[in-house]
Amino acid sequence: MSFMEKPWGGRFSEKTDEFVEEFTESVSFDRELAYEDIRQDIAHIKTLEKAGILTEEEAKKLMEALEDIKRDIEEGKFKWKRELEDVHMNIEAELTRRVGELGGKLHTGRSRNDQVTTDERLYLKGEIEEIVNLLRELRRSLLRTAEGSIDVILPAYTHLQRAQPIRLAHYFLSFREAFLKDTERFLDCYRRVDELPLGSGAVAGVDFPLDRHFTAELLGFNRLVRNSIYATADRDFIAEFLFCCALTGMHLSRLAEDLIVWSSEEFGYIDLPDKLCTGSSIMPQKKNPDILELIRGKTGRLYGNLISLLTILKGLPSAYNRDLQEDKEPLFDSVRTLKGSLVGMVKVIDGLRIREQSMYSGAGNFVLITDVANYLVQKGIPFRKAHHIAGSIVSYLIEKGKRLEELTIDELRNFSELFDEDVFELFKPEVVADRRKTYGGTSREEVLRILSVAKKEEGLL
């Protein structure tokens, strides 16, 4: 068989239609798996040698040729051919061209069905490690920013309405928690990716004495996929990975949304670095938070890639189907999109400037009213009644066009005789924030404790 012939050509009497060549090829995108494919080829060769299917000399010749091909790919010299369909056949065909018929022995005891999912698992193991490292950088960036903003007070928001005073460090630590959970999910996903399918053949296993445990050890897998049908058809590990990407993207998007809003003139809570923003082609005053907007927008791609794969999988009969070729583009796109978004967010967090006074100004007035109600509760009034009294004070302030801090003790006593001079301490946002001393609260004492815990978790103490 010529290396340019189809590997399945013996069954067919007609040349493959050019449209089929174009429509079914995957080498234009799956060549991203080239290094994993060669790594797998070399492990498979060693397994074939161990099984007595290849001699030591044959194995050595094949592996040397594959290393040469790898160098050509690295240097951009390798010629990818669409008519050879995919990354696997391009590499095997080139191997056969270089070493002759011996190259045809490489595929002994292997199908592209178990070959491709092995490549994908090898690829994902490396990418998960990179994403986990990028998440660590983002968590550390958030920690640095939190540590420098312990004494910055701002209003927390619910329903995008000012709610209660918090320390800015508490806010950044909240996202540090989210990205820590994302990291845990990726690491948990890694455990399920870390299973070797190679040696399962097309669907039923292999009729050669291949030591799959030996192959797993060579490729750094901790476990074997235990069922040959499941091994070749399973893409759950990719779906799970895409879900992890989508969820992380959602957290990035929510953080981006806050920072976009905070950087607006209406809020004026932060300034974004000029080098991470762009201007307008028509409005000279504009400073647009493009990086954050794109992080927010690209989350839609992460969602779409997950839905795309789930939709592909939902109607497939068991074992391998060609539909599974469509798993790679969503996978590669999500990897690139998420990694870029994580890098971008680290740059934004490290470069933003906090407008402390603007934040502090927003943390007064009605933001303090919950603690006025709690003040009355501490005086013995049931919370529901205290809530009603505090609400009446808000109505009065709106009617009079006054701020809470401007009330006199006489005005307060019109609502309850239990108000005393000590209530005015609650008109200070930092005092109110520090009353939240419960575990996980926003008091200075608790924020410092959590900062210390987080730094230990990140290996910074």
Whose tokens are 């404790």? That residue is 449
Catalytic residue, chosen from 28, 264, 280, 452, is: 280
Sign of CA dihedral 108, 114, 116, 122: negative
Beta-carbon contacts of residue 168 (< 8 Å; ≥ 6 apart): 146, 149, 150, 152, 153, 154, 354, 359
Q: Indicate which residue of 2, 159, 281, 395 is catalytic.
A: 159
Phi and psi torsions of 271, nearest 5°: -115, 135
**What is the DSSP code string of 233-301?**
H--HHHHHHHHHHHHHHHHHHHHHHHHHHHTSTTT--EE--GGG-B--SS-TT--B-HHHHHHHHHHHH
Is 141 in the active site? no
* Contact call for residues 347 and 276 (beta carbons, < 8 A): yes
402 contacts 127 by C-beta, under 8 angstroms: no
Tell me if residue 280 is catalytic.
Answer: yes
Integer Cα distance of 99 and 62 in angstroms = 7
Would you tell me how many other CB atoms lie within 10 Å of the CB of residue 215? 22
Active site residues: 159, 280
